[in-house]
Amino acid sequence: MPRNTNFLHSSEPLRNDDSLVLQSKHTTGALSFLHPTHAVFRHRVLRTTEKSLSTNESDDSKAALEAHTIASSNEQLAHDVHFAWRSRDNRKGRHLLQYKPAVQGDSTSPLYIVPEKSASVTETLKGIKCMLTCFRYWDISYLVAITFFIASATWILNSFFLWLPLEVPESTFSGEIVVGGGISAFVGATLFQLGSILLMIEAFNAERVGCFGWQIEKLVSKQSERDMVRISPNLQHCVHHHNDKSGIGKGRGDGQEWQWFPSWNTIRSHCLRELGFLASFAMFCGTTIFWISGFVALPGVIDHMSQGTLNGLYWVPQIVGSLGFTVSGFLYMLETQPNWFTPSPHVLGWHVGLWNGIGGIGFVLCGSLGPAYGNSGAQYQSALANFWGGWAFLIGSTLQWYESLDKNPVEEQ
C-alpha cells in the first residue's frame, strides 16, 4: 500500500480525540513514497453544551431568532460539515472547516451554523486589517512570513539599484551599484537565511498529535423538528505552539517537547518523509548557498575580484541557491495538492508556493545571465529578472503573512 494513503498509528492526526473519525478514503498526498498531506474527519458524537429554546416559541419565531443570530454573528447555514487536516495547515497552526451550504426547503438534512467562509469579502478585509494590527511575535509561522516579507522588500530595493541605471541611465548616482546594491544584497540574503532557519524550526515543531481547534454547540428546540449545531473557533484549547506567547520554546506537556533541533532518529523516521519538511530543507539549503553571493556582493569584496573569481563566488552560488528557492516553492505547491497532477488554486498555501517558485526562477535567470559581461542585452535581462523575481517573492510573502494570521479558515465545498 502506498505510504501516502494511510497513517501509521503513531503519526495519525487527531488520534487522541474520540469524537472524530478518520475518513480513510480521503487520506491522500501528492507523492506515494511520502506521508499523507490530506485527511478528513467527521464527528462520531457531539460533545456539546445543549441550549434549549423556550417551549412556547413557535416555529416562525424560532426561525426568526436563528436568522437574527446568524446575521448578527456573520454566520451562515450549512447542511453538511467536516473537518479537514492538511499538513501545511497543521504546521502553520491552522484548523480547516469545510461545509456544504444549506439547501432551502430541505427539512430532512442536518442544519449547522458555521462561520462565514474565509474567501468572502468581509472575512478577507478582516484578514487584511489583522495584518496591520496584529503582531504575533510569539508565533513562529508569523515570524517566518514577516522575515521573508522584509527580505523580499529589501531585495526589491536591491533590484532597483541594479536595474534602474540600465533602464534610466540619467538616474545613476555614485556608489549606486557597488555600495547600494552590495549592501542591500547582503542584508536581503541574510534575511532570507534567517527566514529559512525559522522555517526549519517550524517544521521540527509541527503538531504531530493534531489539534481540533473548533467548538461545537448543539441548539435543541422542543418545538422544531430539527436541532441546530453551531460550530465556532475555539483557540482557547488549541495546543499548537503558535497559540500561547507564554509558551515560547517550552514543552506543552502533551508528549511532544519544543525542539530547536531534533534527534537524527526523528529526522530519519519522520521528517524526511514529510513533504513540507523537504520543502523547508530545500529552502534552507538554497538560502545558505545564496548567502555566499550576498556576502561577496559587499563593497570592498566584489570590486576586488577578477571575472573568473566573480563567476565562481558570486554568480554560481546565486544560480545554485536560487534553484533551491525554486524547488522549495514547487514542493510547497505539491504539499497542498491531493495528487501531483491536480493544482489547488483554492488553497492559499498553493499560491504561496507558486509565487515563491516564480521568484526562484527569476533569481536563477538573473544568475545565469549575469556572467555575460560583454552583452548589454543579457545584462539588462539579468537585472530585470532580479527585479520581477523579488516582486514575486514579495507577493508570496504577503500571502504567507495573511495565511499565518488566519487560524480557522472556512471553505465551501
Per-residue pLDDT of the chain (413 residues; tens, 9 = 90+): 688 999 887 788 888 888 889 999 999 999 999 999 999 999 875 444 444 443 344 454 455 455 445 545 588 888 889 999 999 999 999 999 999 988 776 655 667 889 999 999 999 999 999 999 999 999 999 999 999 999 999 999 999 999 999 999 998 999 999 999 999 999 999 999 999 999 999 999 887 777 888 988 887 766 556 678 889 998 877 877 776 665 555 544 455 677 888 888 889 988 999 999 999 999 999 999 999 999 999 999 999 999 999 999 999 999 999 999 999 999 999 999 999 999 999 999 999 999 999 999 999 999 999 999 889 999 999 999 999 999 999 999 999 999 999 999 999 98
Q: Identify whether residues 17 and 65 lie together within a single domain.
A: yes
How many structural domains is the chain composed of?
A: 2
Q: What are phi and psi of 39, to 5 degrees?
A: -155, 160
Q: Identify whether residues 29 and 157 lie together within a single domain.
A: no
Neighbours of 16 (CB within 10 A): 13
Q: Identify whether residues 104 and 165 lie together within a single domain.
A: no
H helices present in 205-347, as ranges: 264-269, 275-296, 307-310, 316-336
Q: Identify whether residues 167 and 227 lie together within a single domain.
A: no
CB–CB of 82/22 below 8 Å?
no
CB–CB of 96/411 below 8 Å?
yes
Q: Identify whether residues 387 and 331 lie together within a single domain.
A: yes
Q: Distance between CA 338 and CA 149 in Å, rounded?
A: 28
Take residue 220 and report the three cell numbers written for it.
Answer: 435543541
Q: Which residues pair with 112 in a beta bridge?
A: 78, 229
pTM, 2 dp: 0.91
Q: Distance between CA 392 and CA 266 in Å, rounded?
A: 34
Q: Identify whether residues 333 and 283 lie together within a single domain.
A: yes
Take residue 236 and report the three cell numbers written for it.
Answer: 482557547
Neighbours of 79 (CB within 10 A): 15
Q: Any residues with CB less than 8 A from the CB of 350 and at least 6 apart, and which? A: 332, 333, 336, 337, 343, 344
Take residue 352 and report the three cell numbers written for it.
Answer: 504561496
Q: What are phi and psi of 135, to 5 degrees?
A: -125, 80
Q: Identify whether residues 376 and 306 lie together within a single domain.
A: yes
Q: Identify whether residues 261 and 339 lie together within a single domain.
A: yes
CB–CB of 282/331 below 8 Å?
yes
Q: Which residues pair with 99 in a beta bridge?
A: 81, 412
What single letter denotes the amino acid at residue 49?
T
Q: Identify whether residues 202 and 218 lie together within a single domain.
A: no
Q: Which residues pair with 214 in a beta bridge?
A: 233
CB–CB of 210/83 below 8 Å?
no
Residue 349 is predicted with a pLDDT of 98
Residue 256 is predicted with a pLDDT of 62
Q: Identify whether residues 103 and 203 lie together within a single domain.
A: no
Q: Which of 244, 265, 296 is the last residue of a domain?
A: 244
**Residue 85 structural domain:** 3-132+209-244
SS3 assignment, position 210? coil
Q: Identify whether residues 301 and 153 lie together within a single domain.
A: yes
Q: Identify whether residues 152 and 65 lie together within a single domain.
A: no
